[in-house]
Structure 1
Amino acid sequence: MTDSQALAPHSSPLGTNPVAAAPAGARTAADVVTPEVVAQLTRGVVGTGRTANHTPFTGEKLADLPESTPDDVAEAFVRARAAQPAWAATSARARAAVLLRFHDLVLARQAEVLDLIQLETGKARLHAQEEVLGVAIAARHYGRMAPAYLKPKRHTGAVPLLTKTTELRQPRGVVGQIAPWNYPFELSVGDALPAFVSGNAVVMKPDTETALTALWARDLLIEAGLPAGVFQVVLGEGPVIGPEVVKHADYVSFTGSTRTGREVAQGAAARLVGVTLELGGKNAMLVLHDADVDKAAAGAIRACFSSAGQLCISIERLYVHESIADAFLERFAARTKAMRLGRSLAYGAEMGSLVGERQLENVKRHVEEAVAKGATVVAGGVHRTDIGPYFYEPTILDGVEAPMAVCGEETFGPVVSIYRFTDEDDVIEQANATAYGLNASVWTKDGRRGHAVAARLRTGTVNINEGYAPAYGSVRAPMGGMKDSGLGRRHGSEGILKYTEAQTVAHQRLMPLAPSFGMDDEKFAALMTTSLKAMKALRLR
């Protein structure tokens, strides 16, 4: 089959999902990842070896890349530490201005990074554009708000009027960031922006297979005014390079699997440095009896199959009230079967590829084992080799129950299991009956009921009448996981202040906090006792 035939619109006998047609004259990997582009983007990588990355669309090599050794990682931290003090000495407003210029550059040149994201992850262009939106929102927010978050804050002192107390925010130094492959723009530079604007340098280890996207972001930040020395990039195998980043960092930011997150946390704890972890999820969507069935079915498509389900906050468990379950499943299945799959560097496809062989095998294992143990495939369940090596149809499973692996394990692919419920208390208990607690979704026409249910779900974010985007996009509010889904938060004040150390400066005036003006110890103690009683009576905090 020729490339043009593979991309022509049709319903393949291999599966039900049509293939989105490639536009005439569509760009190819060779058009985007030229030797000149690779040379420019990799000039900032500290690496003495050689490695490569590949595109999931075809499995072919995209680019040869520098590979870092442990010594290279140490050198990257030396460079970052040398550059960080001057950057920290720059005013918060000047640092924030870099983010605002970066915001404008990202929006103006987004076509470049959309191509890279698609080529490196295999996702549909619309889902790649989610990353552009997320980064731009974060850049604007911290570009506007960072000076306020970081400014010195006055506090009531030990003795009012006599003690002047100020809280300062000092950068931690050099942040070590380990970024995943699934959202290579948003989860690399998007997380690094608050670290930079608070005066830190960053040594980032992106996944090698999606390194070009992160390197493009670095190039654009430098164009926006970030000193090149404060943003170092190292590449290599996670088990080799990851621990070296943790070994040298003053603070660690990690997004990835729960298993690896535990190892990162242990390494950071041994050095007594802080860590933020965003880990896995087995996220639930609750469709209550009064939900709009059509809107919920359309929302479930976005919630379950964006980026082919390779999103920590996507939905893998879908609970539907018995009274509307048949109608919902009919509409949801019809929409799922109609989703267009594709691999062209253009809008039009509704879902792209899995990222590689490991993800494909995990998806196939979960589906095949569930079917062997009695589950039913309502839609999908087909490996679409006619489109590319790692394409798998969006899949709905019914009749899933323990001990099927898909029931409790994170699939991280385009697979969702349907469960019916009749009692609201029971379904909340089921939704919470997992070690994970990252995201949830509630669908109802009654906003008050939706908020009441949301408050009982043990997840870091809950979206009412949407899958994940509203909570994630609300960057003034914290985002992160409970239980095994992580530690710490991104976004809002927590997302920037974690990259700083709080320093309290107390200036004592007029008299010391000690016997003075001829008082002996007993008279000083009596004075302080009377003062404390008076401060309580005056409701001073």
Structure 2
Amino acid sequence: MTEDTRTTAPTVAPSGTFASLDPRSGTVLAEYPIADSVAVAAAVDRARAAARWWHDQGFRGRRTMLLAFKRAVASDADALATLISAETGKPRGDAALEIMLAIEHLDWAARHARKILRRKRVRSGLAAINQSASLGYQPLGVIGVIGPWNFPLYTPMGAISYALAAGNAVVFKPSELTPGVGTWLEQKWNSLDGTRPVLQVVTGLGETGTALARAGVDKIAFTGSGTTARKVMTTCAETLTPLVAECGGKDAMVVAEDADLDKAAEAAAVGAFGNAGQVCAGVERVYVVEPVYHRFLDKLAAAAKRVRPGGDDTATYGPMTLPRQVDIVRDHIADALTRGGTAVVGGVGAVHERYIDPVILTDVPETSTAVREETFGPTVVVNKVGDLDEAVERANATAYGLGASVFTRKRARGTALAHRLRSGAVSVNSVFSYGAIPALPFGGIGESGFGRVHGADGLFEFSRAHALTVERYPAPLKLFALERAERDMRIATWMFRLRHAR
């Protein structure tokens, strides 16, 4: 356990800048400008002009540029990993893995945009048999991306990559806790073509994000808490600006009696404690059927004892990046214990000023905040259930619906259980594997937000459908006319009844 030091949040300097801090020590890493509404509006205006140029490059031109961007980021991944580690406090290995996953999505979006979004012929149908019909997808224009701090590259790139591949320009407002990552991305893009501001970054605090939502962008991609999402939605409503929102989760794992318990316990430990539990799709609840409950709990507790928080690269995870989250984690643990729960590993004493040791709670009432609200820390509630039906019922008894996981040796059973879980994605015999597969969409329902990033759905999210009809020859029956011929209506009525009324 690394010694705790004073926790501080980003501070604003009189010069209109704010400091990015290393959460492991509170050391100032760099100063960044606070973009006001004028600066944000100017960035969006530049993006508007750049978007027209970017659209004109076509799918092939954009693919070439995006793959060059991919190579530029990947070739300098060591420097980026160092920066991510410094701004978030996570071990460098975790930062490197984040870069790998983000690059996979950028590569997939660049290579698949044309196939998914290009114009395609569709059947005209009997009523419009003289028409040639096609459907294509066009870019929205300028996308505003408001990113989080827990995965400051992977998460926003899930919107940026797909928005760019779809032909949009992007103005990215990174979290005030990780502004350096966003700035690094912009500089890397400009190293390829600094004259075309297709990807711009505006740094600042919450007011900068508000300004971006008001600046006339064509869509906002937001990642953050449900509380902040509601504020962003209110601002977007002023101009009817659409929004895709990923707002966290309270993901559940279901463990069947035939599960590989070693594998399930290891996965639960990774899902609960990885990145200090600061994972929107992390494992916060586990429901284990009674026959294997104690064996699973023992194995998970043993895994937790191998976990070592700290500020060096050999630690399992780093500090809490957001200072105020420490109090939330402490309150959830205290509520669980007050309501009759038991701390199998850790407890309130596991919460320190910067770091939190792993905590495993059990026998926690479903009414506890530790079960009902997102904790976003290295804690997990493990509760016993009578059967899998009860496990599914409890897993679904939440306002969130982002991800879930099922562990069983029977794949058919796992798939059937997955279909019953109310969430945007489910992994069978693994945790959050869907996030590593670029072809799969990611997003939730309820308090977890709406809309999707990644995959074909992610490309569609940042596009608009464009329908086109071209007359091939005059209509044989003139039905869309000021004066319809009685003969044409008789034939149309006969055909209608023949097709639909029998």
Deviation of the 1:515 alpha carbon = 6.2
Amino acid aligned to 2:63: A
Deviation of the 1:190 alpha carbon = 3.1
- Of the candidates 184, 192, 205, which is equivalent to residue 173 of structure 2? 205
Match of 2:66 in 1: 99
- Of the candidates 337, 344, 349, which is equivalent to residue 305 of structure 2? 337
Deviation of the 1:376 alpha carbon = 2.1
Amino acid aligned to 1:329: L
Match of 2:415 in 1: 451
Amino acid aligned to 2:159: D
Contact 2:288 2:385 in 1 (8 A): yes
Amino acid aligned to 1:507: V
Match of 1:272 in 2: 240
SS of the aligned residue for 2:137 comes to strand
Amino acid aligned to 1:232: Q
Contact 1:175 1:250 in 2 (8 A): yes
SS of the aligned residue for 2:344 comes to strand
Q: Residue 71 in 1 paired to residue 35 in 2?
A: no
Contact 1:246 1:264 in 2 (8 A): yes
Match of 1:360 in 2: 326
Amino acid aligned to 1:398: T
Structure 1 residues 228 and 456 mapped into 2: Cα distance closer, same or farther (>3 Å)?
A: same
Encode CA deviations 1:102-149: one digit per residue, 9 max, x unaligned.
333333221111111111111123332332122111112112111111
Please show how residues 21-60 of structure 1 align to structure 2 within 5 Å.
Answer: 49-60=16-27
Q: Residue 466 in 1 paired to residue 433 in 2?
A: no
Match of 1:396 in 2: 360
Contact 2:106 2:157 in 1 (8 A): no
Deviation of the 1:80 alpha carbon = 1.0
Q: Residue 423 in 1 paired to residue 392 in 2?
A: no
Encode CA deviations 1:418-438: one digit per residue, 9 max, x unaligned.
100122111110110000111
Match of 1:151 in 2: 118
Distance in 2, Cα, partners of 1:56 & 1:265: 30
Encode CA deviations 1:138-181: one digit per residue, 9 max, x unaligned.
11211211111121111122556520112121211111111111
Distance in 1, Cα, partners of 2:340 & 2:88: 33
Match of 1:506 in 2: 469
SS of the aligned residue for 1:56 comes to coil
Amino acid aligned to 1:450: G
Contact 1:57 1:353 in 2 (8 A): yes
Deviation of the 1:78 alpha carbon = 1.2
Distance in 2, Cα, partners of 1:158 & 1:359: 57
Distance in 2, Cα, partners of 1:320 & 1:80: 51
Alpha-carbon RMSD: 2.4
Contact 1:125 1:349 in 2 (8 A): no
% identity of equivalent residues:
35
Match of 2:8 in 1: none
* Segment drifting more, 138-147 vs 106-115: 106-115
Match of 1:258 in 2: 226
Amino acid aligned to 1:479: F
Query: TM-score, structure 2 length as denominator?
Result: 0.91
Deviation of the 1:224 alpha carbon = 4.7
Distance in 1, Cα, partners of 2:242 & 2:57: 24
- Of the candidates 229, 243, 247, which is equivalent to residue 197 of structure 2? 229
Deviation of the 1:320 alpha carbon = 1.3
Match of 2:10 in 1: none
Structure 1 residues 292 and 49 mapped into 2: Cα distance closer, same or farther (>3 Å)?
A: same
Match of 1:30 in 2: none
Amino acid aligned to 1:463: S
Structure 1 residues 496 and 516 mapped into 2: Cα distance closer, same or farther (>3 Å)?
A: closer
Query: TM-score, structure 1 length as denominator?
Result: 0.85
Distance in 1, Cα, partners of 2:183 & 2:196: 12
- Of the candidates 53, 73, 89, which is equivalent to residue 56 of structure 2? 89
Q: Residue 413 in 1 paired to residue 381 in 2?
A: no
Distance in 2, Cα, partners of 1:94 & 1:242: 31
Distance in 2, Cα, partners of 1:516 & 1:268: 40
Structure 2 residue ranges without an equivalent (≥5)? 5-14
Deviation of the 1:241 alpha carbon = 2.0
Encode CA deviations 1:70-105: one digit per residue, 9 max, x unaligned.
111111111111221111111111101222223333
Deviation of the 1:269 alpha carbon = 3.5
Contact 2:277 2:379 in 1 (8 A): yes
Match of 1:283 in 2: 251
Deviation of the 1:536 alpha carbon = 6.9
Distance in 1, Cα, partners of 2:383 & 2:462: 41
Distance in 1, Cα, partners of 2:366 & 2:389: 20
Structure 1 residues 452 and 515 mapped into 2: Cα distance closer, same or farther (>3 Å)?
A: closer
Q: Residue 176 in 1 paired to residue 144 in 2?
A: yes
Please show how residues 235-246 of structure 1 align to structure 2 within 5 Å.
Answer: 235-238=203-206, 240-246=207-213
Structure 1 residue ranges without an equivalent (≥5)? 1-5, 15-47
Structure 1 residues 378 and 224 mapped into 2: Cα distance closer, same or farther (>3 Å)?
A: farther
Match of 1:45 in 2: none
Deviation of the 1:281 alpha carbon = 0.8
* Segment drifting more, 124-133 vs 111-120: 124-133
Contact 1:98 1:225 in 2 (8 A): no
Distance in 2, Cα, partners of 1:338 & 1:299: 14
SS of the aligned residue for 2:324 comes to helix
Distance in 1, Cα, partners of 2:118 & 2:402: 31
Distance in 2, Cα, partners of 1:415 & 1:66: 36
Distance in 2, Cα, partners of 1:535 & 1:462: 42
Deviation of the 1:532 alpha carbon = 4.9
Encode CA deviations 1:26-70: one digit per residue, 9 max, x unaligned.
xxxxxxxxxxxxxxxxxxxxxx83111111110121111111111
Amino acid aligned to 2:445: M
Deviation of the 1:533 alpha carbon = 6.0
Structure 1 residues 182 and 227 mapped into 2: Cα distance closer, same or farther (>3 Å)?
A: farther
Distance in 2, Cα, partners of 1:431 & 1:516: 54
Q: Residue 121 in 1 paired to residue 88 in 2?
A: yes
Deviation of the 1:349 alpha carbon = 2.0
Amino acid aligned to 2:385: F
- The alignment of Structure 1 onto Structure 2 pairs a total of residues equal to 487
Match of 2:279 in 1: 311
Distance in 2, Cα, partners of 1:76 & 1:131: 28
Deviation of the 1:529 alpha carbon = 3.6
Contact 1:134 1:190 in 2 (8 A): no
Amino acid aligned to 2:134: T
Distance in 2, Cα, partners of 1:174 & 1:478: 21
Distance in 2, Cα, partners of 1:100 & 1:234: 24
Distance in 2, Cα, partners of 1:287 & 1:127: 27
Contact 1:478 1:494 in 2 (8 A): yes
Deviation of the 1:525 alpha carbon = 2.1
Q: Residue 371 in 1 paired to residue 337 in 2?
A: yes
